[in-house]
Amino acid sequence: MGQLLCYPVDKAYNINGKKYICSRLLAEGGFSFVYLVKDASGRRYALKSMLCQTAESEQVANREIQVFNKFNHPNILRLIDHSVCKSHKVQGAKEYNMLMPFYKDGSLQDVLDRQRTVNGKDYTISIYNEHQLLTTFRQILDAIAQFHHCDPPLAHRDIKPGNVLLSDEKKPVLMDFGSTTQARIRVTSRKQALEVQEEADQHSTPLYKAPELFDVASDCNLDERTDIWALGCLLYAMSFNRSPFESSMDNNSGSVALSVLSGRVDIPASHSFSNELIQLIRSMLSLNPQERPFIDNVIQQVDAML
């Protein structure tokens, strides 16, 4: 993480004239920290602080702010306020601070982790029955549809349980937009393929990353169905408490890439879900992106099951 520093919990942030005091660290990753902060009245927020020391990291921060400003949807995290200032810790660096709502129940990943902590890492019984599962997933689809219906379409590129917060009413809220990029890309050279692949390596989580992003071909078309793959992984995780490729890594020398590229999706022998739901997962996890459904078709299939 280079020179990124974890500030003490009593650090004060000033965002456009309003003061926020850090209470505790919520998460960290890459070149950013997310803190629980309080304003003068004691109201709690989440504050993401990004220390940007390169033009590339500034581009990521600015892209995230632009995506925040593009959408106004109940299942997409909103940006309350933000500021950019010179870093007092690292000479020449900038600090991007983004103020967001705080969700005390955490993320879907926290739910999965609790299940596995209490019942063991091999526990595959979901906290959701099928109707609850599909109702929650349908709202996530609504959020992703906002990206895919843009002109030109956008891809989130890092859909995973850790990027889906849960509101007080247990409604899913999509977050983390630093990975968002143009969805439809025509790759025509090895140089371009390596650039796309490097960006995916930096911003997409391997266990939820589409196979075509592990080794990008020099002559190919990428589209928003990279997100459909990740959504299939997410639906599997919501159903069975883990990524579909986590358990098969043992058969592939512990390699995430080999596990994903094998295309093997093992469904636990004992479960309570319908054949239609299992078939939907399998269709979204087609190795060939051209065989995956688009977001509207996934929504239609989920609606038919509800």
List active site positions. Answer: 158
Q: How many residues does the chain have?
A: 306
Residue 173: which of 73, 63, 306 has the closest Cα? 73
How many of the other CB atoms lie within 10 Å of CB of 20?
23
Identify how many contiguous H helices and E strands the chain contains and give both numbers.
8, 12
Local structure of 224: helix, strand or coil: coil
DSSP state of 267: P
- CA 283, 285, 289, 293 torsion-angle sign: positive
CB 35 within 8 A of CB 47: yes
